[in-house]
Amino acid sequence: ILFLAAHGHSLSVLTALILCLTNTTSCSILIMEKISISEAARQLGIHRTTLHRWIEEGVVPEPVAENIAGARLRYWTKADFAKVKKYKRENYWGQGKKRKGNKKARSQKN
């Protein structure tokens, strides 16, 4: 830690290092990018309930559930989130089940 401080590393790097040395669960959170359901919904531009419905229907991979400090966190890894993005790109165009027909048929009409 002294070596990092002597070479101008910020306090957050030092804090992260101390956290990694004292708490292995938190260290894994810092190393692997995890995307929560709420964050995934923001990135995809859809509502959280849409993602929950897709999970219940089994059309996207179920997020990993992990208990950290008494809180249950559900998240996707980058690889699983890529599958969620692919499903959205191929099957969702913004109006849910209200729309009739498929995407290609509508685009050919216009």
Pick from 32, 36, 1, 38: nearest CA to 17? 1
Categorize the per-residue pLDDT at 92 as very low, low, confident or very high, splitting at 50, 70 and 90. Answer: confident
Categorize the per-residue pLDDT at 1 as very low, low, confident or very high, splitting at 50, 70 and 90. Answer: very low
Interatomic CA distance for residues 72 and 61, integer angstroms:
18
Q: Judge whether residue 103 has pLDDT over 80.
A: no
Burial class (CB in 10 A: 0-12, 13-18, 19+), 81: buried
